[in-house]
């Protein structure tokens, strides 16, 4: 396998169409509801028009929830309220329709796709379409060993790129991106602390099930130890993902970058998606222009990452469960913004303010 050159993404990723965004802003000025009266919905509609390169903006008709799944060896230290290797049960709940994201997805008629990258279970436990991109069984314990080999990290990143291409080619027009993992928030916190130059305590949260103080201290110590291993490889993002990331995080990073290449908008869920987005920003600085922050999960690492990327969460509902749930709630907001931008009628021509003309210069006598 030839080594992947991540620098290529800088040249491949373009910003959303600025000219189209100006056209969308001008159209909004002509609509019957005063500009600004709809708050962030105006901004969302204009962002989506630029991403689609279309005015009026097209409705979101084929969204999809994509969840990358994996177990992390660091969970052995008791840093999560869930048992190490427990992501298999979470995946099963999603597939059986018994998880929050499954319920919301049914109501919104949005399909959910799970991509097993490193679950700690036999590869044939789930259907072939779930496990065909798997890189390994579980990721390494990042406080004392690498999460992946460099070849595994590259294979995972390429898998994420392939999934993005599959979605873009199938007509998906917006992605809700999340993770299904145990120990994933710990790995995400290490990536964020390393890339933002902060200490472990600044990014250590309590996870979806709110670990107790003792578990929080164990988690903080694990992040501190992993940070020591991360800092020497900060200049090489693939090596960073191999050292302290995991197969699911590497795949999500590749997925996000390729979605930006394919001009496919993404709503980010929680701290794991935010960490992968932050790695993606370090690889290609224009990439975050294609992403929205779905919600504020309450994780300090997520807040740190989003602030670094200048992304403001769309919702603040205190949703901590992960698995794309908060970002899926935000999808309704994005769809509403698209509908308002496209369907609100324009003011009668007589009521529209004429464009200001440049004063003509008088000829000198």
Active site residues: 323
Distance (Å, rounded) from C-alpha 89 to C-alpha 70? 11
Residues 124/137, Cβ–Cβ less than 8 Å: no
DSSP state of 119: -
Phi, psi of 116 (to 5 degrees): -80, 115
Distance (Å, rounded) from C-alpha 209 to C-alpha 85? 16
The residue assigned the tokens 């980010």 is 268
Distance (Å, rounded) from C-alpha 298 to C-alpha 210? 11
- 3-state class (DSSP) for residue 215: helix
DSSP state of 81: S
Q: Which helix (H) or strand (E) holds 290?
A: none
Distance (Å, rounded) from C-alpha 119 to C-alpha 180? 9
Distance (Å, rounded) from C-alpha 283 to C-alpha 263? 17
Give the tokens for residue 308: 């670094």
The distance from CA 108 to its chain's CA centroid, rounded to whole angstroms, is 20
Helices 247-261 and 150-170 cross at an angle (nearest 10°) of 40
Q: Which long-range contacts (CB under 8 A, 24 or more apart) does 22-30 make?
A: 23/49, 23/55, 24/49, 24/50, 24/55, 24/56, 24/57, 24/341, 27/55, 27/56, 27/341, 27/346, 28/341, 30/346, 30/347, 30/352
């Amino acid at each position: 396998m030839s080594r992947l050159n991540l620098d290529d993404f800088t040249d491949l990723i373009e910003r959303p169409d600025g000219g189209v965004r100006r056209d969308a802003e001008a159209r909004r000025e002509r609509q019957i509801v005063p500009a600004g009266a709809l708050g962030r919905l105006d901004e969302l509609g204009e962002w989506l028009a630029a991403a689609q390169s279309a005015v009026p903006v097209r409705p979101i008709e084929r969204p999809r929830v994509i969840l990358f799944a994996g177990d992390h060896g660091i969970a052995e230290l008791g840093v999560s309220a869930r048992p190490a290797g427990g992501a298999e049960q979470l995946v099963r709940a999603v597939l059986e329709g018994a998880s929050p994201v499954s319920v919301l997805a049914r109501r919104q008629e949005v399909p959910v796709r799970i991509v097993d990258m490193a679950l700690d279970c036999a590869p044939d436990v789930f259907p072939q379409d779930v496990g065909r991109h798997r890189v390994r069984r579980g990721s390494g314990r990042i406080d004392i060993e690498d999460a992946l080999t460099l070849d595994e990290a590259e294979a995972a990143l390429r898998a994420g790129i392939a999934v993005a291409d599959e979605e873009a080619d199938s007509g998906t027009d917006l992605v809700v991106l999340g993770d299904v993992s145990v120990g994933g928030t710990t790995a995400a916190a290490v990536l964020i602390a390393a890339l933002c130059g902060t200490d472990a305590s600044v990014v250590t949260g309590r996870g979806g099930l709110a670990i107790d103080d003792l578990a929080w201290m164990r988690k903080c110590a694990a992040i501190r130890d992993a940070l020591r291993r991360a800092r020497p490889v900060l200049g090489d993002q693939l090596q960073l993902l191999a050292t302290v990331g995991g197969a699911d995080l590497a795949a999500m990073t590749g997925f996000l970058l390729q979605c930006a290449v394919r001009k496919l908008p993404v709503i980010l869920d929680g701290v794991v998606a935010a960490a992968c987005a932050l790695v993606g920003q370090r690889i290609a600085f224009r990439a975050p222009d294609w992403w929205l922050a779905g919600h504020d999960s309450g994780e300090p690492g997520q807040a740190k990452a989003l602030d670094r990327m200048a992304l403001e969460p769309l919702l603040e509902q205190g949703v901590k469960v992960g698995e794309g749930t908060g970002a899926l709630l935000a999808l309704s907001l994005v769809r509403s913004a698209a509908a308002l931008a496209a369907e609100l009628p324009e003011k009668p021509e007589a009521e529209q303010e004429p464009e200001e003309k440049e004063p003509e210069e008088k000829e000198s006598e």
